[in-house]
Structure formats: structure tokens, C-alpha cells
């Protein structure tokens, strides 16, 4: 069954608190310790897993945590074409979707990595990167690939439908919303099933149900999509 992506204007900013860890609790705890300044040294960290496992959510959440604390952070992803020089004011360097980097982006990532670990001034910076493959399997230049595997490496697992349903149920209960089993099944089968998309969908449903003074049902979901 073809799934529908949801992109109709309302997105909740990713946070570490909103990430349902499930089988990925070790990675989440690692990031919590580092962003709370309890890590003894900025050893590089790498997250890998298939699409929907939460990699980008966690990187964006870390970026938010650090910037909200007044820190500056370097960000690089596969859609970025600007050749930004390493900035000595950065506290950390975050690299998303490294498996998609072209040759120019790989050169930039390597430069950032080297400067982060051996900066001209100050202490080493933290490097947090993410990709779909373990470091050894990345189709990247050798020096970058080897550095991505230097430190902490966490394999993220995609949540099962049961776990996704449990998260949706808890979030709906917290909002005072009732989601029937049929509605849950419809949401999980017809839309992108990563938690970020599902939470965005729930945000929309919450607002639309309030506006229309109707319970959340499958007809309501269809009506909301037609209206947008």
C-alpha cells in the first residue's frame, strides 16, 4: 500500500525529550550526557540506521539543545552546497546523511573533522555524524570513512509498528485525544511511518478536530487532507 508523506505546514521541532528511544536508548543517553556537558571529552560519535530510525531527529535535537544554550554549531548535510570554512567559535560539528556526500562535501567534511579534533585554538570540538550505513561500508574517501568510525558508533533500529502505536497512544492520551484502533491502523498504513511525520500528523489532527468540533475518525482525516 502506498504511503502518503505529510507536508502541510506544521512541524514540531525535534527534541531529545520527544525522541522515543525504544531499542535506541543507549544512543539517546549518550547524546543527553554530551549535551548536558557530562561527557569527559569530545570523542567523535556516529549514528547509523535505515530511513525512519531517527538519525536526523537526533542531530537536529542536538543542534537545538546546543544553540539554545548559547553555543555555535557547524552543520553539514547532503543538500548543502556552500563551502563554509571551519569556524573556531563552533562548539560542535554535526554532519547528516554522510552516505550521500559528493566529493566536494566529503572534502569539506574531512576538513571540518580534522579542525574539530585539532583546532588552532581551544579544546577539541565534538563531531556528531549520521548515515545509513556503518562506517566500514560507507562509499566515501578512505580518510573520512576511517575517522567516522574512530569513536562511539551506534546502530539505530527502526521502531516496530507496535512501538509506534504505543508512542502515538501515549501522545494522544497526553493531549486528551481518543484514537480508535481503526484510526491508528489507518495512520500507520497510509502515511510516512517515522515518528516525526506521525507526530506532525497528530498535531494537525488535534488542531483540525478542535476547529471542527469533531472526534478523530478516518473520515475526519480524509476531510482534513481534502481541505488542505
Q: How far apart are CA 13 and CA 9, in angstroms?
A: 13
- Is 98 in the same domain as 170? no
CA-wise closest residue to 52 among 163, 208, 180: 163
CA-wise closest residue to 53 among 77, 19, 79: 19
Query: pTM for this one?
Result: 0.80
Are 184 and 169 spatial neighbours (Cβ–Cβ below 8 Å)? yes
- Is 220 in the same domain as 150? no
Residue 224: Cβ within 10 Å count: 20
Of 128, 155, 182, at which residue does a domain stop?
A: 155
- Is 56 in the same domain as 151? yes
CA-wise closest residue to 123 among 66, 59, 40, 65: 40
Task: Pull the grid cell for residue 206.
Answer: 488535534
CATH (domain of 222): 1.10.8.60
- Is 72 in the same domain as 31? yes
Q: Residue 92: what pLDDT? A: 94
If you average pLDDT over residues 180-185, what whole number do you get?
92
- Is 149 in the same domain as 172? no
Residue 1 within a domain:
no
Cα angle 182-9-73, degrees, rounded to a multiple of 5: 115
Sequence-separated (6 or more) residues with CB below 8 Å from residue 183: 216, 217, 218, 221
Tell me the pLDDT band of 5, cut-offs 50, 70 and 90: very low
Per residue in 67-119, pLDDT tens?
A: 999 999 999 999 987 878 999 999 999 999 999 999 999 999 999 999 999 99
Residue 8 within a domain:
no
Ramachandran angles phi, psi of 218, nearest 5°: -60, -45
Q: Residue 163: what pLDDT? A: 86
Q: Give the residue ranges of DSSP H helices in 149-194.
A: 161-175, 181-190
Chain Cα centroid distance, residue 67 = 16
Of 94, 121, 155, at which residue does a domain stop?
A: 155
Are 51 and 194 spatial neighbours (Cβ–Cβ below 8 Å)? yes
- Report the domain count for the chain: 2
Q: How far apart are CA 22 and CA 20, in angstroms?
A: 6
- Is 103 in the same domain as 89? yes
Q: How far apart are CA 99 and CA 50, in angstroms?
A: 11
- Is 116 in the same domain as 189? no
The whole-chain average pLDDT of the chain stands at 88
User: Residues 137-144: contacts with CB within 8 Å, 24+ apart?
Assistant: 138/98, 138/99, 139/99, 140/98, 140/99, 140/101, 140/106, 141/103, 141/106, 141/107, 141/110, 143/110, 144/98, 144/106, 144/109, 144/110, 144/113
- Is 143 in the same domain as 71? yes
Q: Can you give the residue range of the structural domain that contains 139?
A: 22-155
Q: How far apart are CA 162 and CA 129, in angstroms?
A: 29
Amino acid at each position: 500500500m502506498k504511503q502518503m508523506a505529510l507536508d502541510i505546514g506544521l512541524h514540531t521541532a525535534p527534541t531529545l525529550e520527544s525522541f522515543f528511544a525504544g531499542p535506541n536508548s543507549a544512543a539517546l543517553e549518550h547524546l543527553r550526557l554530551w549535551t548536558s556537558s557530562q561527557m569527559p571529552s569530545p570523542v567523535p560519535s556516529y549514528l547509523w540506521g535505515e530511513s525512519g530510525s531517527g538519525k536526523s531527529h537526533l542531530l537536529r535535537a542536538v543542534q537545538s539543545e546546543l544553540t539554545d544554550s548559547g553555543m555555535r554549531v557547524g552543520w553539514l548535510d547532503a543538500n548543502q552546497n556552500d563551502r563554509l570554512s571551519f569556524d573556531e567559535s563552533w562548539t560542535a560539528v554535526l554532519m547528516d546523511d554522510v552516505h550521500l556526500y559528493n566529493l566536494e562535501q566529503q572534502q569539506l567534511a574531512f576538513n571540518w573533522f580534522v579542525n574539530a579534533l585539532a583546532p588552532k585554538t581551544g579544546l577539541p570540538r565534538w563531531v556528531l555524524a549520521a548515515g545509513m550505513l556503518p562506517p566500514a561500508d560507507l562509499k566515501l574517501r578512505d580518510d573520512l570513512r576511517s575517522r567516522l568510525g574512530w569513536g562511539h558508533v551506534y546502530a539505530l533500529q527502526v521502531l516496530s509498528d507496535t512501538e509506534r502505536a504505543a508512542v502515538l497512544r501515549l501522545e494522544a492520551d497526553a493531549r486528551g485525544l481518543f484514537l480508535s484502533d481503526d484510526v491508528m491502523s489507518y495512520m500507520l498504513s497510509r502515511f510516512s511511518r517515522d515518528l516525526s511525520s506521525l507526530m506532525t500528523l497528530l498535531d494537525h489532527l488535534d488542531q483540525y478536530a478542535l476547529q471542527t468540533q469533531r472526534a478523530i475518525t478516518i473520515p475526519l482525516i480524509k476531510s482534513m487532507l481534502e481541505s488542505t
